[in-house]
Structure 1
Amino acid sequence: FLTGEENDIMMEAHKMSGYTLGEPFASDEPFDFRGSFITKRLSEHGAPFLQHRLTPPPEEVYTLHRKLAGAYNLCIKLGAVVRCRDLLEEVMENHVFDSHTIGSSKESQSTETSNAAEGNSAGNTQAS
């Protein structure tokens, strides 16, 4: 949802939002969600998005934002103090990436185009 034509205000808001969202994962120390005022700080960075964005984010981004907001708000309400970095590292170590996750979409599209041009696409085989 960045076009490359954004002004400095928008880019700074994106940067600061990213830093703020990543704060619980930045340290090996437990993160105190209630004491962090993270939602207040995120909302402060959000105003420039409404004023300066050139294109809305894809629907998937809205879904991700809602899930993250719900998880952060639950941690705040519970007064959670969590070693977030440890949890993230555990998930990363145990996650099994498939070929669709690892390859870029441009590489996949290039391979599909190349296969189709050679007559090698699935369902396009001919018996001799």
Structure 2
Amino acid sequence: MDDYPLLDIFLTTMWFFLWILWFMLLFRIFGDLFRDDTVGGWGKAGWCVFLILLPFLGVFVYLIARGKGMGAREMAKMKQADAEFRDYVRDAAGAEAKKPSAAEELARLAELKRDGAITEEEYQRAKALVLQ
């Protein structure tokens, strides 16, 4: 343990986390680039070549040139996901609200019995199921 001092452990850990941070930043930039519909295929290819051949300069230029748009695109994506979720919940709640109540079911059963569509025995079985 004497040949690897505490400061070296700290520096190694720091470099390791900076390396992970760098890759997270690259993945974030590539994800933003490929999700953006305003950039054409050649533009995306150019940015990819720039980011791969000159990664540090490419990342800094991308963040300066398109950094503000990254936040706006992310916010728009979040708002769209929230709107889709709210629509789904509204539709699901609406489908549940359309289910007839027990009183409506009993009224429908009584009408069917009165019209002769079902017998007294069928009426009693269906009524028991509705009241459960």
Q: TM-score, normalised by structure 2?
A: 0.28
Structure with more relative contact order (C-alpha pairs < 8 Å, separation 6 or more): 1
Larger radius of gyration: 2
